[in-house]
Amino acid sequence: MSLFVQKYGGTSVGTVERIEAVADKITKFKAEGHDMVIAVSAMSGETNRLLGLASSISDNPTPRELDVLVSTGEQVTIALLCMALHKRGVEARSYTGQQVKILTDSAHTKARIQDIDVSNMRADLSAGRVVVVAGFQGVDEDGNITTLGRGGSDTTGVALAAALKADECQIYTDVDGVYTTDPRVVSGARRLEKITFEEMLEMASQGSKVLQIRSVEFAGKYNVPLRVLSSFKDGPGTLISLEEDDASMEQVVVSGIAFNRDEAKVTVIGVPDTPGAAARILAPIGEANIEVDVIVQNISADNTTDLTFTVHRNDVEKAKAILKVVCDELGAKDIKSDAKIAKVSIVGVGMRSHAGVASTMFSALANENINIQMITTSEIKIAVIIEERYLELAVRSLHSAFGLDAQPQEES
Ligand code: ADP
Ligand code: ASP
Ligand code: MG
């Protein structure tokens, strides 16, 4: 008998029929004798619908009220799922984040979990009940409802698994595992049997939204066995594993390709080439809580530099307003921005022991006439900024350049 924490995402509970199907699945596990704690998302589209309602009333709703609003989505699904379980004769009890108590900090809309009270859940499990917890939400120490950021139900699932020392945290979604890249973009993408935490973290950070970044951080930190599976069809899914010593992993240089369209680049032109200029430009950006990702500096002949960096698209106007003031003080010439960019990253622990990965990447892009605007690397990743319109072409060509395409099925 094992203790499983299972998380079901929005599509998996997107209709009443889907909720019934999830209840069937849980009933089966329960009948096999397992203890079950379930975290659920809101029905698909619901969180966006709620955010839409908020923006139709206000351009600037307070984060506290946004959290009160969007947390309602998950409250609907916990109750419906419990009703479906009761109908099947399975005892189950629903809990909001506050009822559990999933204690978070007070950073509304992006709160972090600090502690989870497991006493109610343990009592229910001992009494043979299935525990159904609302994903994505918690409560701060003053009793305010908080939420964990988009995709946050993944983190609820992993945090519950860590707190309860579950045998496995299973993330049920609409794909049957983690793929070499988003299967919606490359039809030949392959499911991975295993991926390391480190690679999964890099994939998630570089834009693969199959798991929220924090859920992977959490799983790595607390050593939670984590698996991504489909709620629509049976299969082993993908295990996110700690070991890197697996022979199959060593042979692979690049495990996956991630991408995102969330960033925009900002260039400050004609910055005097003096010590401290970059710091003076970037310090107020950081102070305004704007995250800077890729940074590139070019030196020109006339003793000035151009400093280009990327920020989230939602932060471009704010960044430009800040830079206007700094640039006047510094005597820089101009500020430009471009939101029509995309970032494509290749990820793999195998890169540590292989040379020539960057040149393979750059040649594959050159063969498609795709210009690289910026480059950034880490030990297990190379990311490039390109024009947004070439994104899908770039991902497809890199996918085949690194031998990731699925082999055609052999004729039988
Ligand atoms: P859920 O609602 O279950 O949380 P998400 O939409 O958040 O589901 O995540 C699943 C989606 O992630 C898939 O439908 C897929 O399009 C996307 N995705 C992006 N990159 C990958 C990848 N490397 N492997 C699998 N899915 C990926
Ligand atoms: N419902 C939330 C969202 O749409 C949380 C989640 O689904 O993980 O982002
Ligand atoms: Mg998700």
Write the pLDDT tens digit of every residue in 353-362. Answer: 888 899 999 9
- For residue 254, pLDDT over 90 is answered with yes
Q: How confident is the model at residue 84 (pLDDT cuts 50, 70, 90)?
A: very high
Mutation test of ligand 2: which of 38, 66, 153, 156 has the most ligand atoms closer than 8 Å to its C-beta? 153
Q: How confident is the model at residue 246 (pLDDT cuts 50, 70, 90)?
A: low
DSSP string, 264-330: EEEEEEEEE--TTHHHHHHHHHHHTTPPEEEEEEEE-TTSEEEEEEEEEGGGHHHHHHHHHHHHHHH
CA torsion sign for 311, 313, 318, 321 is positive
Greater pLDDT, 254 or 411: 254
- For residue 27, pLDDT over 80 is answered with yes
pLDDT in the model for residue 266: 96
Greater pLDDT, 101 or 407: 101
Q: Ligand 1 centroid to 179 CA: how many Å?
A: 9
- For residue 410, pLDDT over 70 is answered with no
Q: Ligand 2 centroid to 198 CA: how many Å?
A: 23
Q: Ligand 1 centroid to 257 CA: how many Å?
A: 13
Greater pLDDT, 342 or 328: 342
Q: Which ligand is nearest to the CA of 136?
A: 2
Average pLDDT over residues 37-62: 97
Nearest protein Cα to ligand 1, atom 5: 210
- For residue 140, pLDDT over 70 is answered with yes
CA torsion sign for 231, 234, 237, 239 is positive
Q: How confident is the model at residue 411 (pLDDT cuts 50, 70, 90)?
A: very low
Q: How confident is the model at residue 386 (pLDDT cuts 50, 70, 90)?
A: very high
Enumerate residues lining ligand 1, CB below 6 A.
Answer: 9-12, 41, 151, 173-175, 178-179, 181-184, 208-210, 256
Mutation test of ligand 2: which of 40, 46, 136, 154 has the most ligand atoms closer than 8 Å to its C-beta? 136
- For residue 250, pLDDT over 70 is answered with no
Tokens 């993330």 locate to: 171
Report in angstroms the alpha-carbon separations of 395 from 196, 360, 365. Answer: 21, 13, 9
Q: How confident is the model at residue 412 (pLDDT cuts 50, 70, 90)?
A: very low
Residue 74 CA, closest ligand 2 atom number:
1
116 CB-near residues (< 8 Å, 6+ apart): 100, 101, 102, 103, 159, 160, 163
pLDDT in the model for residue 33: 95
Q: How confident is the model at residue 408 (pLDDT cuts 50, 70, 90)?
A: low
- For residue 251, pLDDT over 80 is answered with no
Mutation test of ligand 1: which of 209, 232, 240, 257 has the most ligand atoms closer than 8 Å to its C-beta? 209
Nearest protein Cα to ligand 2, atom 8: 151
Q: Which ligand is nearest to the CA of 156?
A: 2
Q: How confident is the model at residue 85 (pLDDT cuts 50, 70, 90)?
A: very high
Q: What is the pTM of this model?
A: 0.92
Average pLDDT over residues 111-139: 98
Residues paired with residue 357 on neighbouring β-strands, in sequence order:
none
Give kind and range of the element (H or E) at residue 103. strand 102-104
Report the half-sphere exposure of 385 (CA within 13 A, side-chain side). 21
Task: Return left, alpha or beta for 287; rule: phi > 0 is left, psi -120 to 50 is alpha, else beta.
Answer: alpha
Residue 156 CA, closest ligand 2 atom number:
8
Q: Ligand 1 centroid to 134 CA: how many Å?
A: 20
Report in angstroms the alpha-carbon separations of 344 from 104, 134, 196, 398. Answer: 33, 33, 20, 9
pLDDT in the model for residue 37: 98
Q: Which of 128, 121, 119 is nearest to 95 (CA)?
A: 121
3-class secondary structure, 52:
helix
- Distance, CA of 204 to CA of 214 (rounded, Å): 9
Enumerate residues lining ligand 2, CB below 6 A.
Answer: 9-10, 41-42, 47, 73, 135-136, 150-154
Average pLDDT over residues 189-214: 95
pLDDT in the model for residue 353: 85
Radius of gyration of the chain (CA): 23
Q: Which ligand is nearest to the CA of 149?
A: 2
- For residue 409, pLDDT over 80 is answered with no
Nearest protein Cα to ligand 2, atom 6: 151
Q: How confident is the model at residue 245 (pLDDT cuts 50, 70, 90)?
A: low
- Distance, CA of 267 to CA of 338 (rounded, Å): 9
Tell me which amino acid residue 347 is.
V
pLDDT in the model for residue 249: 52
Q: Ligand 3 centroid to 212 CA: how many Å?
A: 7
- Distance, CA of 95 to CA of 75 (rounded, Å): 8
Model confidence pLDDT, tens digit, residues 50-65: 999 999 999 999 999 9
DSSP string, 321-390: HHHHHHHHHHT--EEEEE--EEEEEEE-GGGGG-S-HHHHHHHHHHHTTPPP-EEEEETTEEEEEEEGGG
Residue 304 φ then ψ, to 5°: -120, 160
pLDDT in the model for residue 242: 78
- For residue 247, pLDDT over 90 is answered with no
pLDDT in the model for residue 367: 97
Q: Which ligand is nearest to the CA of 75?
A: 2
Q: Which of 104-108, 165-169, 275-279 has the lowest mean pLDDT?
A: 275-279
- For residue 253, pLDDT over 80 is answered with yes
Q: Which ligand is nearest to the CA of 13?
A: 1
The 3-class SS string of 196-263 reads: EHHHHHHHHHCCCCCCCHHHHHHHHHCCCCEEEEECCCCCCCEEEECCCCCHHHHHCCCCEEEEECCE
Average pLDDT over residues 211-237: 95
Q: Ligand 2 centroid to 148 CA: how many Å?
A: 9
In contact, 256 and 350? CB cutoff 8 Å: no
Q: Ligand 3 centroid to 208 CA: how many Å?
A: 10
Q: Measure the CA angle with vertex 317, ends 314 and 323; round to 5°.
A: 130
Q: Ligand 3 centroid to 87 CA: how many Å?
A: 28
Q: Which of 208, 235, 205, 236 is nearest to 220 (CA)?
A: 205
Average pLDDT, rounded, for the chain: 94
Average pLDDT over residues 201-223: 94
Residue 181 CA, closest ligand 1 atom number:
23
